[in-house]
């Protein structure tokens, strides 16, 4: 029986050795993404969301865990074996300035994956395909021979999207694709990405720190804190009923036109726990107002608190009166 999940991640870990110890950037994360859906991954800078995204498509080697793409474990594939599925998994990077080669024209940047994977027969077919991709993402043909530095951020990001689409992928990691853009341009890029998802049946892993964006763009949301998952639910459910103290604080900080909203912001105090060789216990305990002795010694289990709503907190039910 075919699974409805395009990506299944089990106990994913990514550690980085340093002179002071081992950084636990991603530490035991598990999730699944349905075909044609969007999983939003949110959290503060340094929580491991971008590292998770890069690890699942093998831009970073996995320290431990299993990553299944369309039912196949890709976490231990050799580079040669990985080439066969590279075309199905792509990434849109955060910075449209740094992710494009300044020495290459727009046409050459979009054409590069097609050339590497030998998907066109001749130069005429290659140019026609590139121009078709440019049209798909809203880039004028007249920009074919221009260079990235001649364009604004929105157009540069459209180049990155066209490059990602060039191999007809099924799954795309969107690593904060609009955070470096003006607000008006952000809306245009997000609308384009949604149109492309509908048109091509794409599956997205949408990494962001902008909660107002992720609410409207994602089907499900995964909240991360210091390399671990703390809460996961459908977008509507998470915003309606959030159980983890960190999620509550995160959502309270969303800008609002309500003049009384500032009084509702949850101020987190205390120091962020170091991700270098972390001690046992909840990593949020140093900043949590509900902390108890158990939190400092036992790592909470990521468990289902209600249907399709998962939380990692010893006292989630007690805090929320369940």
293-302 confidence digits (pLDDT tens): 999 999 999 9
- 243: in domain: yes
- 273: in domain: yes
- Has residue 18 got a pLDDT over 90? yes
Backbone angles phi, psi at 206, to 5 degrees: -105, 105
278 contacts: CB under 8 Å, gap ≥ 6: 24, 27, 226
State the SS3 of 34-64. Answer: ECCCEEEEECCCCCCHHHHHHHHCCCCCCCE
204-217 confidence digits (pLDDT tens): 999 998 888 888 88
Number of structural domains the chain divides into = 2
Q: Which helix (H) or strand (E) holds 195?
A: helix 183-200
What's the token pair of residue 136? Answer: 């798909």
- 14: in domain: yes
Tell me: do 234 and 119 sit in the same domain: no
Tell me: do 225 and 289 sit in the same domain: yes
Tell me: do 245 and 232 sit in the same domain: yes
Tell me: do 221 and 157 sit in the same domain: no
What percentage of the chain has pLDDT greater than the value 70?
97
| Report field, pTM of the whole predicted structure over 0.75 | yes
Tell me: do 182 and 280 sit in the same domain: yes
- 192: in domain: no
103-138 confidence digits (pLDDT tens): 999 999 999 999 999 989 999 999 999 999 999 999
Residue 303 has a pLDDT of 94
Residue 28 has a pLDDT of 94
Tell me: do 176 and 72 sit in the same domain: yes
Tell me the pLDDT of the chain averaged across its residues.
91
Tell me: do 134 and 175 sit in the same domain: no
- 193: in domain: no
Tell me: do 157 and 38 sit in the same domain: no
Domain carrying residue 35:
5-88+170-186+198-319
Separation of alpha carbons 54 and 30, rounded Å: 15
Exposure b/e, 158-188, CB count within 10 A at least 16 = b = bbbbbbbbbbebbbbbbbbbbebbeeebbeb
Tell me: do 174 and 283 sit in the same domain: yes
132-156 confidence digits (pLDDT tens): 999 999 999 999 999 999 999 899 9
- 230: in domain: yes
Tell me: do 42 and 164 sit in the same domain: no
Tell me: do 291 and 311 sit in the same domain: yes
Reported in sequence order, the residue ranges of 149-302 that DSSP labels E, i.e. its strands, are: 171-175, 203-207, 220-225, 228-234
43-73 confidence digits (pLDDT tens): 988 899 999 999 999 999 999 999 999 999 9
159-212 confidence digits (pLDDT tens): 999 999 999 999 999 999 988 788 888 989 999 999 999 999 999 999 998 888
- 98: in domain: no
- 191: in domain: no
Tell me: do 180 and 256 sit in the same domain: yes
Looking up residue 50, the CATH number of its domain turns out to be 3.40.50.300
239-284 confidence digits (pLDDT tens): 999 999 999 999 888 776 665 655 577 877 878 889 999 999 999 9
């Amino acid at each position: 029986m075919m699974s409805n999940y395009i990506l299944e991640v089990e106990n994913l870990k990514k550690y980085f050795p340093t002179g002071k110890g081992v950084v636990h950037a991603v530490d035991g994360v598990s999730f699944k993404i349905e075909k044609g859906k969007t999983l939003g991954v949110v959290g503060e800078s340094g929580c491991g969301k971008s590292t998770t995204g890069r690890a699942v498509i093998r831009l970073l080697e996995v320290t431990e865990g299993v990553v299944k793409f369309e039912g196949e474990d890709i976490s231990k594939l050799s580079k040669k074996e990985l080439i066969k599925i590279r075309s199905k998994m792509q990434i849109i990077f955060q910075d449209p300035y740094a992710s494009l080669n300044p020495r290459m024209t727009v046409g050459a940047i979009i054409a590069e994956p097609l050339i590497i994977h030998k998907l066109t027969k001749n130069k005429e077919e290659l140019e026609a395909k590139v121009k078709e991709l440019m049209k798909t993402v809203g880039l004028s043909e007249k920009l074919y021979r221009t260079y990235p530095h001649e364009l604004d951020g929105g157009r540069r990001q459209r180049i990155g999207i066209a490059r990602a689409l060039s191999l007809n992928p099924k799954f795309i990691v969107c690593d904060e694709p609009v955070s470096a853009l003006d607000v008006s341009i952000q809306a245009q890029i997000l609308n384009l990405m949604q149109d492309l998802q509908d048109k091509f049946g794409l599956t997205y892993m949408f990494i962001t720190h902008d909660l107002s964006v992720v609410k409207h763009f994602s089907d499900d949301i995964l909240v991360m804190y210091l390399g671990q998952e703390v809460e996961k639910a459908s977008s509507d459910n998470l915003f309606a009923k959030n159980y983890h103290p960190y999620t509550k604080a995160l959502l309270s900080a969303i800008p609002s036109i309500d003049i009384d909203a500032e009084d509702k912001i949850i101020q987190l105090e205390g120091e962020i726990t170091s991700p270098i060789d972390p001690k046992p216990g909840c990593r949020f305990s140093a900043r949590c107002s509900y902390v108890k002795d158990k939190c400092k010694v036992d790592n909470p289990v990521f468990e289902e608190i209600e249907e399709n709503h998962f939380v990692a907190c010893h006292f989630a039910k007690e805090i929320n009166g369940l």
